[in-house]
């Protein structure tokens, strides 16, 4: 049996290949990874380079930047619910490349950009944005289990799907949610409709991927898997 791994954990390969997700915020340096097969361990060192992402200045509702005590408590409670989802490790139910969350969509944009809201620096953009008019159907990128469907302060109406293998997709700022937590979906099933809820500048879809906890550029997993970097 083949196993993939790093200093934190081990996992099964996907379609025979080992993938090593690196988080958007990973510090410059090196990462040691390995692959085990037939009782033999092969090791490699990945070099992490400084992120090339640009700065993005945005103007939003001031109440979404300087939070009231009530809204801060709400956002903190929502974060406590969301963060544990990225530690889920169920059996993989997906294959690469993933399906697009929108039909006939242009390439996603803005992943990793260092955001400045109303002149104040905030966290890097951990997903990719699709231009989408309010009411555009948002689709499941692959089979999985809906683990959260809720209206959040920053993310607006959002759906989180566990695709197994440590991969969680997030669809945010929806105008409507059409699924419930605990519901199984297939690739292409409708999760809801795009919108402009939460902290936004206008209607669009924020599509994010967490793979084994790492924030990864969705464009990588929507494209040809043979083009992915490998050690």
- Whether the full predicted model's pTM is greater than 0.85, yes or no, is yes
Q: Is residue 83 helix, strand or coil?
A: helix
In the DSSP assignment, the letter for residue 206 is E
**pLDDT tens digits for range 65-119:** 999 999 999 999 999 999 999 999 999 999 999 999 999 988 888 998 888 899 9
Instruction: Specify the domain boundaries for CATH 2.70.70.10 within the chain.
Output: 55-227
| Run of H or E residues at 69 | helix 69-82
* pLDDT, tens only, 35-65: 999 889 999 999 999 888 888 899 989 999 9
In whole angstroms, give the CA distance from residue 2 to residue 166: 17
Query: What is the CATH code of the structural domain delimited by 55-227?
Result: 2.70.70.10
User: What is the rounded distance in angstroms from the CA atom of residue 82 to the CA atom of residue 41?
Assistant: 35
The model's pLDDT over 141-186, given as tens digits with 9 standing for 90+, comes to 999 999 999 999 999 999 999 999 999 999 999 999 999 999 999 9
| Tokens 């103007």 belong to residue | 59
- Phi, psi of 151, deg, nearest 5: -105, 115
């Amino acid at each position: 049996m083949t196993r993939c791994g790093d200093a934190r954990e081990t996992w099964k390969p996907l379609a025979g290949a080992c993938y090593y997700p690196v988080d958007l915020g990973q510090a410059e340096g090196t990462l040691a990874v390995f692959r085990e097969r037939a009782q033999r361990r092969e090791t490699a060192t990945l070099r992490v380079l400084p992120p090339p992402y640009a700065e993005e200045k945005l103007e939003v509702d001031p109440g979404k930047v300087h939070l009231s005590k009530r809204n801060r408590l709400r956002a903190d409670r929502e974060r406590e619910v969301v963060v544990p989802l990225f530690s889920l490790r169920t059996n993989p139910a997906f294959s690469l490349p993933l399906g697009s969350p929108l039909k006939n969509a242009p390439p996603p944009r803005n992943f990793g950009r260092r955001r400045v809201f109303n002149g104040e620096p905030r966290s890097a953009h951990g997903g990719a944005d699709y231009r989408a008019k309010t009411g555009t159907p948002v689709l499941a990128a692959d089979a999985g289990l809906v683990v959260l469907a809720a209206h959040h302060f920053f993310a607006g109406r959002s759906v989180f799907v566990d695709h197994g293998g440590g991969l969680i997709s997030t669809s945010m700022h929806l105008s409507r949610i059409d699924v419930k937590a605990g519901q199984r979906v297939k690739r292409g099933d409708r999760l809801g409709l795009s919108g402009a809820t939460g902290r936004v500048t206008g209607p669009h879809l924020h599509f994010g991927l967490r793979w084994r906890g790492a924030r990864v550029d969705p464009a990588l997993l929507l494209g040809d898997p043979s083009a992915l970097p490998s050690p």
